[in-house]
Structure 1
């Protein structure tokens, strides 16, 4: 990792430094106080995506011979799918948000509108980022932008966005675990909750320091964990609910659908985990 003066910065040291602000923001116990910060993070995301489109077009015009390929190797496709599946982890925030809504019946409409916007932003940044900057752009994509005060502000906005979304994504799984942890304590629950929050964040940061390759780590988590949660488990639950009523259907098509989805999930899980895990280990050893 390099700063603007081209001095080498150890990524593991940076990760250790950001531990403190991550602990502080995760001390916010209520989701309603994180919601306004989420709106701010969404504004930052929109600005970064639009800037990616703009700089991508400008770079392509300036360097029309930038190398791009219609499809990469099979391993590259598997790594890409693992990272895409990782993006499904936001599904875990859906139910807590629905439970906090004044009108929960509007949640399906919210999901449709929200996912349309999210997919559009991802497609825009992915297409113009690759088309504009080529086969091996800097990571993250903001490092490929021209170096000026505007792009420095973009990086700061991106840092704040990741910082806020980390707290949002941490809130849901921790509260699921806290339901069982708080049974061990009868007094000073607020203090113990903050202690456990700090311990969890330290563990998460330790994993990030051990495996600093974010892309490969996202791919492994997406392949091993979220391929089950996103494909196999929902298909199995649906099959069990439909087993007697309305039944398996003509030629047991619901059973065949479950088998197809499960095989696809297993296929993604093993192959994507293999290719991303190989990169993860290589980067962890080399850095």
Structure 2
């Protein structure tokens, strides 16, 4: 699509054509409305792109970092991420003006930047810059979808297997280890056919309805979660201010994972009627996101302490009110899966379809969609550890897209235009920090994954506390 990285094929829709633009599946629900509301639409969508399952894992992330180090580190990572978003926007704007193009997406920005860099080898292989960004986007989004599988299965398992003990009395959970009646993988396989049918829906208006429903359920469940955790917070003096450096690496991966919207800032800006207003939207929206992250992560850890689970929903009381929270958030994540899934689908499917005859187009389209959903399910089945998969995906892909590539992109784009030594040093430091976090965070997540399931019982989603 001309305005984003999601596909080389435009998404035709009568309402979007009436407004004089094409729309992509991730931005359609908000940008296809009337222009007077465009700023508010963009702000809401920016918030939605950054509020997902990673948010619910922040209390455990704070436990992995410490009560003092966690909030400070999350604030620092948030500031760096927003700064890298601004760098990406500036580079894309500069390249679009230089090349006289209307829009430049993330992958194109990397490719066009490499085409003009001083190194001859990089100029010759500039297209690999676009391939690399596309690969990272596919990996990240499929990682998100795999996490969604685990999140829904974890909450479904807890709701079903504790249904006989659910009451109207919303008392704090007692420390209790339950032997699961059915394996968590059974619940993943139960969800699989419904998600396959969901991703078959390609009608943009239908996806917009699902997006609205996801927004409503997510907002309602978040309000109830905050209402509970602010009640009677225990004395936090017994909680460590600083955790082990090994668990801090897991914190880094989770923190980066939560900032899911770095790949959508360019499409959102390009769809605005007045793109120059996007800076205000970005700073306002991301300020709200960072404050929300710090508050939920810190208060959640203070509330549940050492019993903090991989998702805060697993710590909620076993009563009908908070069981409904798990159900509402799971419904929101279920419909959000279709929106996140469109990113890799619209990159992969057009390429695959181009290799076959027209008579096979529909069959191949549905087959690829089914295969991709099954791939995310298999990944979740093989590694049913929600906290570690979040950390792994954040360390491997999200850190590259959010922290490593944007500073390098700025160096390549503006190096020939007399960049200051301060800017060059700053970009190098940010990229090195992102690379170190990527390498060591990935190593620690893999190390934890190969350990026996009881290696860290409080981090296991198979245990109910």
The partner residue of 2:252 within 73, 81, 94 is: 81
Deviation at 1:184, TM superposition (A): 0.9
Q: For each residue in 1:80-100, what CA deviation from the matched residue of structure 2 results, as whole angstroms up to 9, or x when unmatched? A: 11011112333334445556x
The partner residue of 1:35 within 188, 208, 217 is: 208
2:450 alignment counterpart: 281
The partner residue of 1:196 within 355, 368, 373 is: 368
2:407–2:431 CA contact under 8 A, matched in 1: yes
2:257–2:393 CA contact under 8 A, matched in 1: yes
Q: Does 2:186 correspond to 1:13?
A: yes
Moved more, 148-157 or 276-285: 276-285
2:310–2:386 CA contact under 8 A, matched in 1: no
| Superposition map of 1:1-287 within 5 A | 2=158, 3-4=161-162, 5=164, 8=180, 9-60=182-233, 63-64=234-235, 67-96=238-267, 101=271, 103=273, 105=275, 107-188=278-359, 189-245=361-417, 247-249=418-420, 252-282=421-451
**Distance change >3 Å, CA 150–CA 90, structure 1 → 2:** same
Deviation at 1:174, TM superposition (A): 1.6
Runs of at least 5 residues in structure 1 that lack an aligned partner in the other structure: none
Deviation at 1:11, TM superposition (A): 1.0
Moved more, 113-122 or 178-187: 113-122
**Distance change >3 Å, CA 58–CA 102, structure 1 → 2:** closer
Runs of at least 5 residues in structure 2 that lack an aligned partner in the other structure: 1-156, 165-177, 456-461
**Distance change >3 Å, CA 73–CA 112, structure 1 → 2:** same
Deviation at 1:75, TM superposition (A): 1.6
Q: d(CA) in 2 for partners of 1:104 and 1:31?
A: 24
Deviation at 1:185, TM superposition (A): 2.2
Deviation at 1:46, TM superposition (A): 2.5
1:49–1:125 CA contact under 8 A, matched in 2: no
More helix by share: 1
Q: d(CA) in 1 for partners of 2:272 and 2:415?
A: 34
Q: d(CA) in 2 for partners of 1:19 and 1:165?
A: 15
1:86–1:219 CA contact under 8 A, matched in 2: yes
Moved more, 74-83 or 275-284: 275-284
Q: d(CA) in 1 for partners of 2:304 and 2:391?
A: 22
Aligned pair count?
281
Q: For each residue in 1:232-282, what CA deviation from the matched residue of structure 2 results, as whole angstroms up to 9, or x when unmatched? A: 21111111110112x222xx3333223211210111011111222122222
1:59–1:133 CA contact under 8 A, matched in 2: no
Q: d(CA) in 2 for partners of 1:151 and 1:66?
A: 28
2:262–2:401 CA contact under 8 A, matched in 1: no
Q: d(CA) in 1 for partners of 2:445 and 2:243?
A: 15
SS of residue matched to 1:28: coil
Q: d(CA) in 1 for partners of 2:213 and 2:294?
A: 21
Q: d(CA) in 2 for partners of 1:86 and 1:160?
A: 21
1:212–1:283 CA contact under 8 A, matched in 2: no
1:41–1:160 CA contact under 8 A, matched in 2: yes
